[in-house]
Structure 1
């Protein structure tokens, strides 16, 4: 279990993490989401004792990380897959870690096979692809057979088979009663993997709930409608946060109003509706709505005359 109480980290006048409190429970996969710069990495580093909180505290399995006598057996983490000596082989890297905790070489071989590193175990890490580096980082996180596992962007660089493997691994660890704390920017993968979500924005927790509750609570109703006079229908539905998009001359997508209300308005206005299809709200939809005011670094479209153009260096 991971427990944070009023956890804060300041860098000068900037609060990277601002008095956050949360609990990551065992027996489930807890996803950790937030825009770039929201405080995810800083929070994970404080959990692992790599950054000291400005105030507040965080414990793993009842103690601060640094107070565990054998921390690899309590918590395993993948925070930076590149933090490995490039001239060391994967096997020797893991064996050196194991030696610090009296972990037998048999366990090193086990995690190598588990993560699919067998064919490259004796090769230097400096020649690894991004995906193989991620697998090595996961192997290191699992080396001590820990009660708590923290994985920061574990599927980065993995092929589809690898992504699916990480998904099954996370679920399997949780099914064994372990605490699994997982961050990812892949909303589709998080929707398939996580049971619970903690969402952070500008250093503060903005959601902490089961994943389906966040989808149901944040995603607004979206309905696809085919009608003979869609503009008349839209005119009567306008206002109160209702938005629409014209997809084809007689096909529109309406957001923010329930299908029954659309049908009632169509009947009243004598608009012929020959398709009324509620659309499933995705985790991405809910997340974007939840964090729309919390994004610190926003992208913007290029001006219409410059779309597709790229700057040329040296001119």
Structure 2
């Protein structure tokens, strides 16, 4: 279990993390999401004892990371896959880590096999691709057979087979009762991997709930409607918080009303509809709605606009 209580980190006049509170429970996969600059990496670094909190606490299995007698056996983490001595082989990198924690050599062979690095184990890390580096980082995280695992962008650089492997691994670890805490910018992958989400924005927790509740809680009810009277129906449905977009000549997409409300308005206005299909909101849509006021940088490129060429006036 990971617990953050009033966890705060201030750099000069910038507050990177502002008094956050959350619990990452064992036996499930908890996703950690947030825009760039939201405080994700700083929070993970404080959990791992790499950054000292300005105030508040972060504990792993009830104890701050730096107070664990054998930290690799308690918590394994992939925070930066490049933080490896590039002159060493993958095997020697893991062997050196194992030696400092009293981990048997057999475990090194086990994690190398588990992460698919057997054929490159004796090669120097400097020749590794991004995906191979990620696998080595995951092997290092699993080396101490820890109860708690933190993975920051674990599928970065992996091919489709590797992405599925990470997903399967995370689910297996959680099924064993371990605590699994991971971040990813791939919403489609997070949607099929995580059970619970914690979302941070501008250093504050803005959501902490099961993934299905976060999707449902954004009120993004969308419905596809076909009618031979689209203009009339569009006028009938107009109102605060309602968006009606024309997709084709007789096809509308309505946001902000559920199908029952649309059907009632059409009946009252004597407009015939011949399709009424609820559309499922994706995690990406829910996330964008949730964090729309929390992003540090906003793009103003509209659909169909040509990107600005480098060096243009």
Q: How many positions carry a matched residue from both structures? A: 313
Offset of residue 303 of structure 1: 10
Match of 2:138 in 1: 138
Counterpart Cα distance in 1 of 2:107 and 2:300:
49
Offset of residue 43 of structure 1: 0.1
Conserved? CA contact 1:219–1:289, under 8 Å: no
Counterpart Cα distance in 1 of 2:92 and 2:175:
31
Counterpart Cα distance in 2 of 1:170 and 1:255:
35
Match of 2:306 in 1: 307
Offset of residue 309 of structure 1: 4.9
Counterpart Cα distance in 2 of 1:164 and 1:20:
32
| TM superposition score normalised by structure 1 | 0.97
* 1:129 maps to 2:129: yes
Unaligned runs of 5+ in 2: none
Match of 2:280 in 1: 280
Structure 2 SS opposite 1:218: coil
Unaligned runs of 5+ in 1: none
Match of 2:213 in 1: 213
Structure 2 SS opposite 1:8: strand
Counterpart Cα distance in 2 of 1:309 and 1:44:
35
Match of 1:81 in 2: 81
* 1:102 maps to 2:102: yes
Conserved? CA contact 1:219–1:281, under 8 Å: no
Match of 1:195 in 2: 195
Distance 1:51 1:127, change over 3 A: same
Match of 1:252 in 2: 252
Q: Which aligned segments of 4 or more residues in structure 1 are displaced greater than 4 angstroms?
A: none
* 1:226 maps to 2:209: no
Counterpart Cα distance in 2 of 1:96 and 1:31:
30
Match of 1:69 in 2: 69
Counterpart Cα distance in 2 of 1:309 and 1:205:
35
Tell which deviates more after alignment, 230-239 or 275-284: 230-239
Offset of residue 12 of structure 1: 1.2
| TM superposition score normalised by structure 2 | 0.97
Offset of residue 244 of structure 1: 2.1
Counterpart Cα distance in 1 of 2:265 and 2:40:
45
Conserved? CA contact 1:219–1:285, under 8 Å: no
Tell which deviates more after alignment, 294-303 or 228-237: 294-303
Conserved? CA contact 1:152–1:183, under 8 Å: yes
